[in-house]
């Protein structure tokens, strides 16, 4: 059976130098496999999110977070059936201090259509802790990446409007700022300037990437 080869690049720091290792992943989803978020959970290994077809459950959820083993095989990150609102994930963040896997969530890419937000899952059980609904801001708000600060606050980017959102729970959240340089237009590779990756440097500082 033919498969689509997806190249995942692993970088390891060994002493004072970098060691680079690339692993071929044979995807059963063909050319529809689109992965972006990548994280590491000590008890599970390397986990990736994807915006592509996955295993569908009776509650309508899609298993779109997977563990990648050393042979490139993809398996669901947990045996717990995903929450009914789980669809496609781009950004992932592991918060081991609070036993949380945090993931952006949307029903379509590159732009969400009426269903998008941030999903917070318990690593030890796979169960949902809470879900923040991004459509409170806009129907097509599309969370791209996510990070967590030492104080536990979650921050997510939106590449349609350029919003940076601070999230504490499903009901406690606020828009921190809006990146004025953000410009969403199709095709993305020639017309767009998108608010993309985000990393928490400290409780008072965020590093945000703009993709052009």
Q: Per residue in 113-128, pLDDT tens? A: 889 999 999 999 999 9
Question: Three-state SS for 177?
Answer: strand
Confidence (pLDDT) at 45? 86
Phi, psi of 98 (to 5 degrees): -115, 10
Confidence (pLDDT) at 122? 97
User: Among candidates 77, 138, 74, which has minimal Cα distance to 106?
Assistant: 138
For range 97-117, the mean pLDDT: 91
Q: Is 156:91 a contact under the CB 8 Å cutoff?
A: yes
User: pTM of the predicted model, to two decimals?
Assistant: 0.83
User: Among candidates 134, 142, 205, which has minimal Cα distance to 175?
Assistant: 134
Confidence (pLDDT) at 108? 83
Strand intervals (E) in the chain: 4-14, 17-27, 35-41, 45-50, 55-56, 62-63, 65-68, 74-76, 92-95, 100-106, 116-122, 128-133, 143-148, 154-158, 163-167, 173-178, 194-202, 205-211
Edge-to-edge strand list for the sheet holding 173-178 = 143-148, 154-158, 163-167, 173-178
User: To 10 degrees, the CA torsion angle through 29, 32, 37, 42?
Assistant: 0
Higher pLDDT, 185 or 27: 185
Question: Where residue 11 falls among pLDDT bands split at 50, 70, 90?
Answer: very low
Instruction: Return the minimum-mean-pLDDT range out of 9-13, 94-98, 144-148, 190-194.
Output: 9-13
pLDDT tens digits along 22-63:
445 555 444 455 567 889 899 998 888 876 655 555 555 566
| pLDDT at residue 178 greater than cutoff 80 | yes
């Amino acid at each position: 059976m033919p498969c689509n080869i997806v190249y995942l690049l692993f970088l390891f720091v060994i002493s004072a130098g970098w060691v680079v290792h690339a692993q071929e992943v044979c995807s059963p989803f063909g050319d529809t496999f689109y992965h972006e978020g990548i994280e590491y959970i000590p008890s599970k290994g390397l986990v990736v999110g994807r915006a592509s077809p996955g295993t569908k459950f009776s509650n309508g959820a899609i298993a779109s977070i997977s563990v990648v083993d050393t042979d490139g095989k993809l398996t669901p990150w947990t045996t717990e059936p995903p929450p009914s609102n789980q669809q496609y994930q781009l950004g992932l963040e592991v918060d081991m201090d609070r036993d949380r896997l945090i993931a952006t969530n949307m029903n379509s890419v590159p732009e969400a259509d009426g269903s998008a937000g941030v999903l917070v899952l318990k690593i030890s059980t796979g169960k949902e802790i809470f879900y923040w609904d991004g459509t409170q801001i806009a129907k097509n708000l599309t969370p791209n990446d996510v990070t967590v600060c030492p104080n536990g606050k979650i921050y997510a980017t939106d590449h349609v409007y350029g919003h940076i959102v601070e999230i504490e729970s499903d009901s406690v959240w606020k828009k921190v700022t809006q990146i004025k340089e953000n410009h969403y237009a199709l095709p993305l590779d020639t017309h767009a300037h998108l608010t993309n990756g985000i990393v928490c440097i400290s409780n008072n500082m965020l590093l945000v990437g703009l993709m052009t």
